[in-house]
Amino acid sequence: MTATLLTLLSSLVWWVLYSSIGALFCALIAWVVLRWCEQGPPVFNRVYMACLLWTLLGVLMVAGVAIHVGNVRPPYGELLHSSLLRLVLVIDMLVGVVLLWRLIPRFDQRRIRPASACLAVAIVMAIVFGVATSVGVT
C-alpha cells in the first residue's frame, strides 16, 4: 500500500515537473507569436499559465490514449497511427486555443483575438511535432 502511494505521488510530481518544463518552451514560442500578432507584448506570466494548463491536460490526454492503445514504451509508431490519438490531439489544440484566448490579456488589458490564439497553438504544435519526429520518437 505504501509503495503504491509513493509511486502515485512520484508520478504526480514528475507529471507536473515535465509539464512545466514543456510549458516553458511552449510559452516562449506562443509569447513571440502573440507579440507579433497583437503588435504588443502580452503578459508572459499569463501566457505561461495558459501553456502550463494546456500542457498538463495534454499530457493526461495523450497518456490516457497511450494506455488505452497499450503502447506506453518506445517505439511509438502504433500510437502515432492511432485515430484516437489524432482525435485527442485535435481536442488538445482546441483546449489550447480556448485557454490562450481566455487567459491572456493584451497590453491594453483586452483579450487577445481568437485568431491569434489559433495561430500560436498551430505554430507551437508544428514545432513540437517537428522536434518529436526529428528526435526519433517514431
**Model pLDDT, residue 132:** 80
**Model pLDDT, residue 71:** 85
**Model pLDDT, residue 53:** 97
CA–CA distance, 118 with 101 (Å, rounded to integer): 9
Joined together, the cell numbers standing for residue 12 give 504526480
**Model pLDDT, residue 136:** 67
pLDDT tens-digit readout, 102-119: 999 877 778 899 999 999
Ramachandran quadrant class, 136 (left: phi over 0; alpha: psi -120 to 50; beta: rest) = left
Specify the length of the chain in residues.
Answer: 138
pLDDT tens-digit readout, 13-55: 999 999 999 999 999 999 999 999 988 889 999 999 999 999 9
